[in-house]
Amino acid sequence: MASLRLGDTAPDFEQQSSEGLIRFHEWLGNSWGVLFSHPADFTPVCTTELGLTAKLKDEFAKRNVKAIALSVDPVDSHQKWIGDINSTQGCTVNFPILADADRKVSTLYDMIHPNANATLTVRSLFVIDPQKKVRLIITYPASTGRNFDEILRVIDSLQLTDHHSVATPGNWKQGDDVVIVPSLQDPELIKQKFPQGYKAVTPYLRLTPQPNKSTS
* Whether 161 contacts 184, CB under 8 Å: no
* Whether 37 contacts 121, CB under 8 Å: yes
Of 105, 2, 88, 104, nearest to 48 (Cα)?
A: 88
Q: Which one of the listed residues 46, 65, 99, 122 is annotated catalytic?
A: 46
Active site annotation includes 46: yes
What DSSP line would sit under 90-138, residue for residue? TS---S-EEE-TT-HHHHHTT---TTT-SSS--EEEEEE-TT-BEEEEE
Of 21, 46, 19, nearest to 104 (Cα)?
A: 21
CA distance 34 to 30: 13
Give the SS3 label for residue 179: strand
Q: Which residues are catalytic?
A: 46
